[in-house]
A and B are shown apart, each in its own frame.
Chain A
Amino acid sequence: GAVVSQHPSWVICKSGTSVKIECRSLDFQATTMFWYRQFPKQSLMLMATSNEGSKATYEQGVEKDKFLINHASLTLSTLTVTSAHPEDSSFYICSALGDRGNYEQYFGPGTRLTVT
């Protein structure tokens, strides 16, 4: 149990276009999901916290107008990178807070975004 999926697993897009990444909790309900970004050879950096039915909370330095997050249901959160640029190329990972009351986060497999 406690499986989180992401789609797509990798995507290549042209500079100036927008890309949407989906994060789904497959066998549990997740009122809270998180989005991370990871550059090569670096650790995961928390971008934002997504709560179902409310606006996301962004970490300092993360542009909310550039990284649009929508958490419309208890099993789906989406991250849209708007007007992507090559510097947005990164590994984007989502996680979902478990519903068993032990404050455990379950991570998705990640999405590799390359902006050309």
Chain B
Amino acid sequence: DAKTTQPPSMDCAEGRAANLPCNHSTISGNEYVYWYRQIHSQGPQYIIHGLKNNETNEMASLIITEDRKSSTLILPHATLRDTAVYYCIVGSGNQFYFGTGTSLTVIP
């Protein structure tokens, strides 16, 4: 499975949009991009996933570049409860290999 690179940490002001980048330059054609987040001492929570097209759901938007080598997760109006570690994973329906993720801190 392709590896991902994310910044180790980010801050975001409450109410503002949080944009979390992810590089996955070795992604292959049948691999999806998944985003999960983990709040301390809990299991990861699914956020969104996509293959080629941009996706939006009630939690977030996922923007995938045309060459699929990078993506951005957008939390449109960050709240304090969005403080968590966010993982970008690429895979094709089998094992997930987690990277180190981005620790997002939403600041009041």
Contacts and interface: CB of A to CB of B under 8 A. Distances in A.
A44 B93 contact: no
A49 B95 contact: yes
A68 interface: no
Interface stretch (A12-20, A69-77, A79-87, A108-116): A108-116
Given A102-B49, A110-B41, A45 B98 contact: yes
A91 interface: yes
Main secondary structure of the interface of B (DSSP, over half): loop
Contacts of B87: 43-44
Contacts of B96: 34, 46, 95, 105
Nearest to A110: B43
Interface residues of A, number: 24
B43 A46 contact: no
A107 interface: yes
Contacts of A109: 42-43
Contacts of A36: 98
Interface in A45-64: 45-46, 49
A110 B100 CA distance: 18
B45 interface: yes
Interface in B18-55: 32, 34, 36, 38, 41-46, 49
Specify which of B36, B43, B49 lies most central, judged by the most chain A CB atoms within 10 Å of its CB: B43
Contacts of B43: 4, 6, 93, 95, 107-110
Interface of B: 32, 34, 36, 38, 41-46, 49, 87, 91-101
20 contacts: A4-B43, A32-B94, A43-B99, A43-B101, A44-B44, A46-B95, A46-B97, A49-B94, A49-B95, A93-B44, A95-B43, A97-B93, A102-B49, A103-B93, A104-B46, A105-B46, A105-B96, A107-B43, A107-B46, A109-B43
For the complex of A and B, list the 10 residue pairs with the smallest distance between their C-beta atoms, beginning with the closest: A103-B93, A107-B43, A44-B98, A43-B98, A107-B44, A109-B43, A110-B43, A108-B43, A93-B43, A43-B100
